[in-house]
Amino acid sequence: MRKPFIAANWKMNTDSQYAVELASGLEKAIADVKGVNVAVCPPFVYLQSVAKSLSVDGNVAVGSQDVYFESNGAFTGEISCEMLKDVCCSYVITGHSERRHVIGESDELINKKTIAALEAGIKPILCIGELLEEREADKTSQVCERQLREGLKGISEEQLAEVTIAYEPVWAIGTGKTATSQQAQEVHEFVRGVIADLYSKNAADNIIIQYGGSAKPKNTKELMSCKDVDGLLVGGAGLKVDSFSEMVKITEELYK
Ligand SMILES: O=C(CO)COP(=O)(O)O
């Protein structure tokens, strides 16, 4: 059985004090949770203090929201996988829709970042998802398939075992409009099919596919009850110990 994985993407939020309070508060709140993998993804500048505030054998891992694919050199403003590892990051989000659509990252760049992470031993959370106009034009599958195929280019089946896919319909992010569980399930099942096609049935059966987009305690049970939804990538509701820990606990309960 796939172990559920819930991650909080803090985006460009928190300050140095709150970041540490949030991470350590969360660690305390879910200290007894064993059946769910949990990660928090703070802004770059707080990664180190957040990682230091967490216990080494605790159950909250640290992830970054972005990375650059080169290891070092003249890349002003960028952060490498080696630097992320140096501050105890075990995950990195690649291809988030805000990086695709606000910053303008291409499938090719996202692919390079995902490969760099895998080569450095950091687990990528590769985000995919359609815009509202793409859904309305019936292009959801086409867009998700392209983002998957391009994002995973050159990645072996063995490496894929370290990859999480996050399906985040762009129209559901930060809007309060969650995809219905049926909409989420439909795309998740489709994604698993693409993975089976690209790799194998075994790879498809084992890959963790998170849903993201206005996920909160109120809709966690419904979303996590879908056959192909294995976790959540949480924005807003991940910024409070109470709401995020509630989502983790609801999930643990469901998987018992
Ligand atoms: O983009 C998201 C997580 O990466 C989702 O954000 P919200 O949960 O705030 O909609």
Q: Are 192 and 151 in contact (CB under 8 A)?
A: no
pTM of the model: 0.98
Task: Classify residue 172 as exposed, middle or buried by CB count within 10 Å of its CB (0-12, 13-18, 19+).
Answer: buried
Domain membership of residue 59 as a residue range: 5-255
ipTM of the complex: 0.99
Rounded distance from Cα 82 to ligand 1 centre (Å): 27
- Candidates 125, 173, 209, 210: which one to mutate for ligand 1, based on the most atoms within 8 Å of Cβ? 173
Which atom of ligand 1 has the smallest separation from the CA of 214?
Answer: 10
Check residue 71 and give its pLDDT. 97
Which atom of ligand 1 has the smallest separation from the CA of 213?
Answer: 10
Q: Is 168 part of the annotated catalytic residue set?
A: yes
Check residue 176 and give its pLDDT. 84
Q: Is 96 part of the annotated catalytic residue set?
A: yes
Which amino acid is it at 172? A
Q: Is 55 annotated as a binding residue?
A: no
The total of other beta-carbon atoms located within 10 Å of residue 39's CB is 24
Residue with structure tokens 């089976």? 196
**Strand, helix or coil for residue 215:** coil
pLDDT tens digits, 29-63? 999 999 999 999 999 999 999 999 999 888 999 99
Q: What is the DSSP letter of 12?
A: S
When computed from its CA atoms, the radius of gyration of the chain, rounded to whole angstroms, is: 17
| Domain count along the chain | 1
pLDDT tens digits, 121-138? 999 999 999 999 999 999
CATH of the domain at 22: 3.20.20.70
pLDDT tens digits, 223-253? 999 999 999 999 999 999 999 999 999 999 9
pLDDT tens digits, 174-224? 888 888 999 999 999 999 999 999 999 999 999 999 999 999 999 999 999
Is residue 173 within a helix (H) or strand (E), and if so which, with residue range? none
Calculate the average pLDDT of the chain: 97
Check residue 177 and give its pLDDT. 82
Q: Which of 98, 130, 145, 168 is catalytic?
A: 168
